Amino acid sequence: MGRSPRAAPAHALHASAATDPGIALNRTPHRSGLFASLLSLDIIVVLATWTTALSFRDTSASVLDGAKQATAILGLTVATVIALASQHLYRSRVAVVRSLETVLIARATALVLAAALIVGRVSNELPVRTVLGGGVALFFMLELGRSAFSAWMRSQRRHGYFMRPVLLVGTNDEALRIAEIMSDHPELGYSVTGVVGDREHAHMCKDSPPWLGPTSAALVAARTLGVTGVVIAPSAVDPAIANDLVREFLRQGIHVQMTSGVAGIDQRRLLVQHLMHEPVIYVESATQSSLGRIAKRLLDVVGSTLILILMAPVMLVVAIGVRSSGPGNVVFRQVRCGRFGTPFTMYKFRTMRTDAERVFADVRDNNERIGPLFKCARDPRVTRIGKVLRSTSLDELPQILNVLRGEMSLVGPRPALPEEVAVFDAELLRRMTMLPGITGLWQVEARDNPSFAAYRRLDLFYIENWSLGLDFAILARTAFCVVGRGAASILRRGFMHDSVIDLRSNATSTD
């Protein structure tokens, strides 16, 4: 970690605090307007949805009925916003985690439906069919609206806007891992302006935030930099010092976050309990029961069968388009590793020219990604129809056959090549304990993230914290992502979307 030339040593920070009594100014959290924008968007979407839903009721044209309908629309809109707020859907740390946001939107919708059904039953003014239809439409419209908002916010934060400046307290491996996550995921909205802690350990790692001094300089550094929040790694700080820092930061109106010390554990498995009023964290196990595996397989069979039936006409059109795009097979086949390393043949619609592998060396230096993933905004090997198929993920549809054969799942880590598995470390080999999937957590949370660390971290997180609810959330997010990318592809005429492929798999094949 190289030291920034702007990093202020501890004595300089202390001196500045002593000579400038106004140094603690600018500590008020920056109000970016994101909350107001998101709330306004939700109100517009909810109001429009309930207005449309209740407009299809069989009502008379009397003024009284019109007044009742307006009251019902207003009441349902207010109730929906309250339900969204009750699920903490206006907290930035929730809004950027799209799979979690989908689950919470579903919960909020269920709460509103339950309340509306009860009121409708008592008042006999809201038919069940109207409420249920409005609830389904509400979920989809909220998802679409928030997907658009999330895409805009992520783009803004990648360019440095709407970021919260924070100070990192600690320089051990845990603290630097948190700094890496914040750097890899700018959509979180954190900008680590500096780190305090052990100088020697801090300078051992490059590309980390500038070192500002020892832990004792934390308070002065926070005031000097005008940060609105701090992140403390307790394992890097003496417990007595950490206690004092937390209380002082809170007294000064600075937000405090503390890491748990464990990696890859879903926060829903961490229960805060007390040991004679002292906080301790209880970690729930994540055992995969036989019933859970059966339910996952049932979801795969039923879901893939429905998708195959519904998408059969689309697959036929795609097959005709691929065939007419040039010489080569319609379906691309490649050997991948399944559960426990068992090899199988994976299917995809062909999206590249037949000489893609031979000319790969010509585009390899254009890699825009970090690590073993390959991204080339304008890969000349991809056919015209291939660009559309990749941007909409329609090229993955033949893998439904792999799911029906039990070689893949609808949700899971992407299948790896045998040569990749041969060099996996012990931790990454945990990917092989589950069936590979057509879609996964990485695809819906960080598909456009250039960091391989994000790819690795999200895949391992899924393995560690799998649940049927998480699968449903990922599938729902995938559907909205596909629709969104399809719409964007049409707007850009289908030929401007980036192609993302695996360096040692699709990028070196005729896929």
Residue 270 to residues 246, 265, 277, Cα–Cα distance (Å):
21, 8, 17
Q: Among residues 356, 313, 316, 300, which one has the least CA distance to residue 332?
A: 356
Please tell me the distance from the alpha carbon of residue 394 to that of residue 302, in angstroms, as a whole number. 19
Which pair of tokens denotes residue 445?
A: 């949370």
Please tell me the distance from the alpha carbon of residue 402 to that of residue 334, in angstroms, as a whole number. 12
Q: Is the CB of residue 135 less than 8 Å from the CB of residue 109?
A: yes
Q: Among residues 401, 406, 376, which one has the least CA distance to residue 390?
A: 376
Q: Among residues 489, 506, 478, 476, which one has the least CA distance to residue 140?
A: 476
Q: Among residues 496, 442, 505, which one has the least CA distance to residue 474?
A: 442
Please tell me the distance from the alpha carbon of residue 82 to that of residue 84, in angstroms, as a whole number. 5
How far is it between the farthest Cα atoms of the chain?
A: 79
Q: Which residues, in sequence order, are CB contacts of 394 under 8 Å at separation 6+?
A: 314, 318, 349, 388
Classify residue 437 as exposed, middle or buried by CB count within 10 Å of its CB (0-12, 13-18, 19+).
buried
Q: Is the dihedral of CA 311, 313, 317, 323 positive or negative?
A: positive
Ordered per-residue pLDDT tens for the chain, 511 residues: 433 333 344 444 433 333 333 333 333 344 457 888 899 999 999 999 999 988 875 544 433 367 778 888 899 999 999 999 999 888 866 667 777 888 899 999 999 999 988 888 777 777 888 888 999 999 999 988 888 888 888 888 888 888 889 999 998 888 888 888 888 888 888 889 989 988 877 766 666 788 888 998 899 999 888 898 999 999 889 889 999 999 999 999 999 999 888 888 888 788 888 887 788 888 887 766 778 889 999 999 999 999 999 999 999 999 999 988 878 889 999 899 999 989 999 999 998 877 666 666 666 666 555 655 556 666 777 788 888 888 788 899 999 999 999 999 999 998 888 877 887 888 888 888 899 999 998 888 877 776 777 878 888 889 888 888 889 889 988 887 777 666 665 555 544 444 333 433 344 443 4
Domains, the chain, with CATH or none:
34-158 (no CATH), 163-261 (3.40.50.720), 290-508 (no CATH)
Which pair of tokens denotes residue 183?
A: 């750097």
Please tell me the distance from the alpha carbon of residue 454 to that of residue 460, in angstroms, as a whole number. 10
